Amino acid sequence: MNPYDEISDEELILRFKNGESEILDYLMEKYKDMVRKKARAMFLIGGDNDDLIQEGMIGLFKAVRDYQPDKEASFQTFARMCVDRQIYNAIQNSNRQKHQPLNSYISLSQDPGESQDHLQDMWADNPESIIIDQENVRSLEQEITCTLSLMENQVLEYYLDGMGYAEIAALMKKTPKSIDNALQRIRTKIKEQLKSTNNTNNLKNLK
């Protein structure tokens, strides 16, 4: 058992900033699965999975570097936001290079033009926005869950846990082709839900 397991993330960050450099490796390993899960979710709607994992790990590193323990949000919440933001920027930049509009990913706490360099300024000025955004994400997840069928929700859960098509097919007693078809439907429904959410938000902004 690692002695750091009994210490809160917030205290670990303080100790890291005071010179315990090995804490960085511990936190990167601790949240690696979270990064992989987010990367797989984004892979459903665009992007190379391995590249997105690398970008997510960069976002996690920035979270460790920039987190301020005296603020209201927990490190876990802040880390998730930083990983989301880094992956979002990677997809945005990739699509811009391909001259394609980015319309298949929802930004968490960030306007499309916001730079990662301003992360600390945003954190200092408005940390409570992180909590609000987390509530918005939970609401979106609930809407997506309602949109998917029971089978599709199960397939998505297994997929986000890191399972491959063959593993999911074996567990659900389905063919790999049926799992592939289900993931295609899931991808389409997620994109439609995101588009609907963005349109709703745009209407609210006009009022």
Tell the residue number behind the tokens 């511990």, with chain if given: 26
pLDDT band at 43 (very low <50, low <70, confident <90, very high): low
pLDDT at 138 over 60: yes
pLDDT at 12: 95
The answer, yes or no, to whether residue 194 has pLDDT greater than 80, is no
Residues 186, 168: contact at Cβ < 8 Å? no
Query: pLDDT tens digit string along 140-190?
Result: 677 778 889 999 989 988 887 778 889 999 999 999 999 999 988 988 887
DSSP label at residue 59: H
Instruction: Give the least confident one: 18-22, 29-33, 127-131, 164-168.
Output: 127-131
Q: Give residue-wise pLDDT tens across range 89-134.
A: 887 776 565 534 333 443 322 333 334 444 444 444 444 444 445 5
Mean pLDDT over 9-29 rounds to 94
User: 107-111, 165-169, 193-197, 202-206: lowest mean pLDDT where?
Assistant: 107-111
The pTM score is: 0.58
Cα 206 to Cα 57, 111, 185: the distances in Å are 37, 16, 32
| pLDDT the model gives residue 23 | 95
> Which of the residue ranges 37-41, 82-86, 91-95, 103-107 would you say has the lowest mean pLDDT?
103-107
Exposed/middle/buried for 81, CB within 10 Å: 0-12, 13-18, 19+? buried
* Per-residue model confidence (pLDDT) at position 102: 36
